[in-house]
Amino acid sequence: MRLKLGLEVLGLLVLALLIAVMPRLVDNFTAYEMATVGMYFIALLGLSILTGYSGQISLGHGAFMAIGGYTTAILSVDHGVRDLWTIPIAGLVAGVAGLIVGVPALRLSGLYLALITFGIAVSFRQIPIKFDHFFGGTTGKVLGLLKTPFGLSATPEDWIYYLTWGIAFVLLVVAWLFVRGKPGRTLKAIRDSEIAAASSGISIARYKMIAFGMSAFYAGVAGALYAIARAYMNPDVFPIILSVYLVAALALGGIDSFVGLIVGATIIYVLINRADDVTGWINHLPGVSLDSKRPGMPDVIFGAVLILVLITLRTGVGGALRRAFGPLTTRLYSRS
Amino acid sequence: MSALLKLEGVEASYGPVKALHGVSLEVGNGELVAVLGANGAGKTTTLRAVSGTVRRSGDITFNGSRLRRRPDAAARAGIAHVPEGRGTFSELSVWENLRLGAYTRRGNVKEEAQHVFKYFPRLEERKGQQAGTLSGGEQQMLALGRAMMARPKLVLLDEPSLGLAPMLVQEIFDALDKMRGEDGMSVLVVEQNASLALEHAARAYVLEVGRVVLSGPSDELRADESVRRSYLGY
Amino acid sequence: MLLGVFTWTEFAQQIVSGLRDGAIYGGLALALVIIYRSTRAINFAQGEMATFTTFIAWSLMNHGLSFWTAFPLVLAIAFSGGVAIERLIIRPVENGPVITIVIVTLGLAVLLNGLMSLIWGGGNRPFHGPFSTRTIDVGGVPISVQDIGIVAVSFALVALLALFFRFTKLGLGLRAAALNRQSSELVGVRVGWMLAFGWGLAAVLGAVAGMMVAPVLFLDPNMMQTVLLYAFAAAVLGGLDSPLGAVIGGLLLGVTITLLGRYVGFVGQALKLPTALLLILLVLLVKPNGLFGRVAVRRV
């Protein structure tokens, strides 16, 4: 146990080192890409606390990212708040939204919660369209271009990289402490047997709601960073399918595995931001000639891989899925 | 006499838990054979092994051929299983339940049903009623009637007396006797009520923790007081 | 609060419009319910499956077939597709945790969406349905022939299905397999194939819904995503395991949302979708079984 703790701390330190050093090794654009991966990483981190530890499914976390993005956009464009300070506020706003969703979520078992959160993902973009004076409608809002603050001498790309991964590291440590500490152990107890946990006096509701709020906070922060990096925000920046990707990436990468989260974040990055390039890469294969105006290939590959992985892993055949979702089965809506 | 049904060294498990540790038994043509034993002895599992609804290994021969392990293989071979708890479709009507009984047969369902109504006229009265609204005794009749719709050679009955008044139980066993006589049906019945079972069965097997510990003609088992007390509970 | 002027004529038209939408939601909801009853899971790919088969119809019509010639072909393809999906993709994970099935259907949705973009490209295109868009006079109110046609086709389909389930041996076997797997096995029903058949039927229902709605919405890979949400709402409203509930829930939802969208200024066109979502939430919290359902929602 001691040794394991030591290894984990060591792992975190190595990670911190890697983060600090990376921009020296890669060019500007790659630093920008890595920053984007970091944003998805933050969102996945939050989702892993929600799904992995409190056992609640959310197919709508893209909406919390959008809340974060819009908070940042509105604050910085309409109220001149410096983009940096909007990040924690965006997280808080999204976190509160998460708590609000967390209330009815308490009364919904797995399948129904998936349904509702999916509904949130699908219908959320109607809100900025309806209240277009506030949100900018379909055009959205344009933020100030990404620039390095305080007269620091880094490039904007390096700046967003350090900002994102710095925040990611802090949030990772927080999540790590949360999971290892009392809240995490409590959630694990709840996850493994709600009845036993309830009878020992633990306030399940409180912890499940906190998990929801926390995961939404993370998503909001990620969304804020994303909007700052791209310098614009509109209803299509966080599409419906992103929410699906988030859950799918978690299923593929595994919850407990930190590397899995990074891999998952990278996959999401490729699917959302580099889909066209994937088509281009595939065209290099002999005999393959895909119309680059028809960008469906990455989704086809992703969907197929996801299905294959889930089919071959099945239930109880070891591996990430069982570790990730196994204890969930006692909690989720089970067939009678 | 070549047996209609023969189990040889049958083992069965529910996941990692082994319930049968090598059970061998036989049922002859037109015989009523009882499987007795305490709770958890493996009686229900034995029936399930025959009807293919539990994972099993070992040989089961029925009517001369090896019985495949798929759930519908037994039904198509002429084995009807009336499970513990009747297994009726409570949301469907009595008539629909009977129709399902004849699922594997091609014949005229109405004719088969008339045959069943002969034994259980009460079912005809309640033809259109939802099965779940029937009384316990009527549900048992329905379950048995459904089994008969397939004109089975062997009926597997699990705890037919459970929750029923003695008079009804008598009715059911009388019907079974008639079916054996008229239709040449064989019956393998699981019962906790050992004395009742031994009254009607020609032979019986006693199971304990997944193994056959005792077997023989009912008269012998009934006569032996020590057997009665230690194994049959009376 | 009230938008615009109220006339009875327009009200009647809105009702018809609502019924038309409701017929489509109900059709897709029925597909969801059939799958939910047999597999106990929600098929998040139902919408994409429907859009995919609609694209096939579009392709066939582009190659010269008329709508009604292509129609049975598409249904046959949809049925086989549904059966194949169940046997190949769902069967391996059927007995596992429900969330695995959910994620598999999500993966399928992503795959189909990508495949559609790949094969047919992403943009909008018109779909020439079988009904003309002219209006006829019904009691003084101009009603679109297309609306009537959509409702009629949907009703006919549902009626056929009801007859099938009620009066055929196969239909009885399907119902039995969904109600009680173990008892069904005991009477010789091949439960596995019954499940596959159910998925095939659901795919057919989806295909019809897609082909009915495409002339109205224009055909693109994302066409059914919002319809799917409305279908979820209809299914939950009616009770997730009640076929009758799906149909009635669909009609009720269609009319309600249309009227709300037209006459309640706050809702307008933009908030119809979130309203449907709130409705799902409300039903799940207040009466989880919906109007006609039996299944209990597990809560702790």
Neighbours of chain B (3+ CB pairs under 8 A): C
How does pLDDT run across A79-138, given as a tens digit for each residue? 888 888 899 999 999 999 999 999 888 888 788 899 999 999 988 988 998 888 888 888
Spatial CA neighbour of A109 closest among A322, A336, A323: A336
User: Do the Cβ atoms of A253 and C111 come closer than 8 Å?
Assistant: no
Q: Is the Cβ pair C175, B75 closer than 8 Å?
A: no
Res A328: pLDDT: 38
Percent of chain C, pLDDT > 90? 58
- CA distance to partner chain C, nearest, from residue B49 (Å): 12
Least confident of A28-32, A279-283, A316-320: A316-320
In this structure, what CATH number is given to the domain that contains residue C163? Answer: 1.10.3470
Q: Which residues in chain C touch residue A310, judged by CB atoms under 8 angstroms apart?
A: 93, 100, 103-104, 107
User: Do the Cβ atoms of C24 and C150 come closer than 8 Å?
Assistant: yes
Residue A1 domain flag: no
Q: Which residues in chain C touch residue A333, judged by CB atoms under 8 angstroms apart?
A: 98, 297-298
Round to whole Å and give the CA distance between A190 and C9: 57
Asked whether residue A144 carries a pLDDT value surpassing 60, the answer given is yes
| pLDDT, mean of residues C54-60 | 95
Spatial CA neighbour of C253 closest among C271, C279, C228: C279
Mutation target vs C (from B70, B89, B99, B142; most C CBs, 10 A cutoff):
B89
Structural domain count of chain C: 1
CB pairs under 8 A between B and C: 58
Q: What is the ipTM of this complex?
A: 0.88
Q: State the pLDDT confidence band at A54, using cuts at 50, 70 and 90.
A: confident
How does pLDDT run across A105-116, given as a tens digit for each residue? 888 878 889 999
Q: State the pLDDT confidence band at A290, using cuts at 50, 70 and 90.
A: low
Return phi, psi of residue B28, to 5°. Answer: -95, 170
Q: Is the Cβ pair C229, A110 closer than 8 Å?
A: no
Q: Which residues in chain C touch residue B83, judged by CB atoms under 8 angstroms apart?
A: 182-183, 186
Round to whole Å and give the CA distance between A130 and B230: 79
**Alpha helices by DSSP H, chain A:** 2-25, 28-48, 61-78, 83-105, 110-123, 126-130, 132-135, 156-180, 182-192, 194-199, 204-230, 240-253, 258-273, 275-283, 297-313, 319-325, 328-331
Res A2: pLDDT: 53
Residue A38 tokens read as: 């970091």
3-class DSSP assignment, residue C230? helix
Asked whether residue C72 carries a pLDDT value surpassing 80, the answer given is yes
| pLDDT, mean of residues C259-279 | 86
Q: What is the dihedral of CA A331, A116, C292, C79, to 10 degrees?
A: -90
Quote the strand ranges of C126-271, DSSP E. Answer: 135-138, 141-144
3-class DSSP assignment, residue B81? strand
Quote the strand ranges of chain C, DSSP E. Answer: 135-138, 141-144
Q: Which domain holds residue A68?
A: 26-274
Round to whole Å and give the CA distance between C249 and C25: 9
Res A334: pLDDT: 28
* Partner residues linked to B30 by β-bridges: none
Round to whole Å and give the CA distance between A91 and A88: 5
Q: Judge: domain B5-78+152-232, CATH 3.30.2390.10.
A: no
Residue C126 tokens read as: 């018109």
Contacting C with CB below 8 Å, chain B residues are 51-53, 71-72, 75-76, 80-81, 83, 87-89, 91-92, 96, 99-101, 103-104, 146, 150
Residue C51 tokens read as: 């859009």
CB pairs under 8 A between A and C: 190
Residues of chain B below pLDDT 70: 1, 231
Q: Which residues in chain C touch residue A119, judged by CB atoms under 8 angstroms apart?
A: 229, 232-233, 276-277, 280-281
Residue A200 domain flag: yes
Whether the CB of A272 is below 8 Å from some CB of chain C: the reply is: no
Q: Is the Cβ pair C186, B76 closer than 8 Å?
A: no
How does pLDDT run across C111-163, given as a tens digit for each residue? 999 999 989 988 889 998 888 888 888 888 888 899 999 999 999 999 999 99
- CA distance to partner chain C, nearest, from residue B89 (Å): 7
Q: Is the Cβ pair C106, A108 closer than 8 Å?
A: no
Q: Residue C155, class by beta-carbon neighbours within 10 Å (0-12 exposed, 13-18 middle, 19+ buried)?
A: middle
How does pLDDT run across A182-239, given as a tens digit for each residue? 777 777 776 666 666 666 656 777 888 888 999 999 999 999 999 999 989 999 999 9
User: Do the Cβ atoms of C196 and C64 come closer than 8 Å?
Assistant: no
Which residue do the tokens 């040794």 mark?
Answer: A3
Residue A65 domain flag: yes
Q: Which residue spans of chain B are classified as CATH 3.40.50.300?
A: 5-78+152-232
In this structure, what CATH number is given to the domain that contains residue A245? Answer: 1.10.3470
Return phi, psi of residue C110, to 5°. Answer: -60, -45
pTM of the model: 0.86
Mutation target vs B (from C183, C184, C189, C241; most B CBs, 10 A cutoff):
C183
Residue A289 domain flag: no
Residue A133 CB partners (closer than 8 Å, separation 6+): none
Res B107: pLDDT: 75
How does pLDDT run across B27-59, given as a tens digit for each residue? 988 889 999 988 888 899 999 999 988 888 888
**Alpha helices by DSSP H, chain B:** 43-51, 71-77, 94-101, 109-119, 121-125, 136-149, 166-183, 194-200, 218-223, 225-227
Mutation target vs C (from B103, B156, B157; most C CBs, 10 A cutoff):
B103
Structural domain count of chain A: 1
Packed helices A156-180 and A204-230: angle between N→C axes, nearest 10 degrees: 170
Res A256: pLDDT: 66
Residue C97 domain flag: yes
Residue C87 domain flag: yes
Asked whether residue A294 carries a pLDDT value surpassing 80, the answer given is no
Res A327: pLDDT: 40
Q: Among A110, A297, A332, select the one facing C114 at the smallest CB separation.
A: A297
Q: Which domain holds residue C35?
A: 8-286
Q: What is the mean pLDDT of chain A?
A: 81
- CA distance to partner chain C, nearest, from residue A295 (Å): 6
Which residue do the tokens 């229902």 mark?
Answer: C205
